[in-house]
Amino acid sequence: MATIKSEEVSQKAVISTQVREIEDLTKKNKAQKDKLVEASKNIKKLKEAYIKQKAELQNHKAELEKVKGMLQIRETEHVELKKAYDMLNTKHSKLADELEEQRQLKDTIDQMNKEITTLKQSSTEWKKKYDLLKQQHEQLQMQEKEYERVSNLFLN
């Protein structure tokens, strides 16, 4: 009986040790299970954050495409404005050339007007001289007629 008791005690000790080992394993298992649950929660949070960031990235891509479109429009407008500027610059150059030609024509006209004024003044002076010579000629003709008349009187 003592052997049975000793065997019982020994079995109880083994069982007790095994129970403690099972309890320790259960605690370790629970701790690992808690860690696994926590890791699962973290993975879920990371997955949600990833989905959120992916959605934000899609939004940013859409905004980027929108900005690219606007930029292309601005570039097109810039090219059109550059063409318009070049065209206006060409017109400005042509107008400046025409204006210079008109200034030269005006200078020529002013010079001709001065010459015409000078010719008019000269013409007026020549007319006065002509009138004076004509008057002198008439006087001379009258004197000549008078001389002939007086000569004829003396000769007759």
| 26 assigned to some structural domain | yes
Give the residue numbers spanning the domain of 12. Answer: 1-117
User: For the chain, how many structural domains are there in total?
Assistant: 1
Q: DSSP letters along the chain, please?
A: -HHHHHHHHHHHHHHHHHHHHHHHHHHHHHHHHHHHHHHHHHHHHHHHHHHHHHHHHHHHHHHHHHHHHHHHHHHHHHHHHHHHHHHHHHHHHHHHHHHHHHHHHHHHHHHHHHHHHHHHHHHHHHHHHHHHHHHHHHHHHHHHHHHHHHHHHHH-
Residue 58 covered by a domain: yes
Tell me: the pLDDT tens digits for 21-38?
999 999 999 999 999 999
pLDDT mean over 120-146: 93
| 156 pLDDT tier (thresholds 50, 70, 90) | low
Residue 146, in any domain of the structure: no
- What pLDDT is stored for residue 151 in this prediction? 85
pLDDT tens string 70-107:
999 999 999 999 999 999 999 999 999 999 999 999 99
Does residue 88 fall inside a structural domain?
A: yes
Residue at 73 is within a domain? yes
Measured at the CA of 31, the angle between CA 25 and CA 35, to 5 degrees, comes to 140
Residue 149 covered by a domain: no
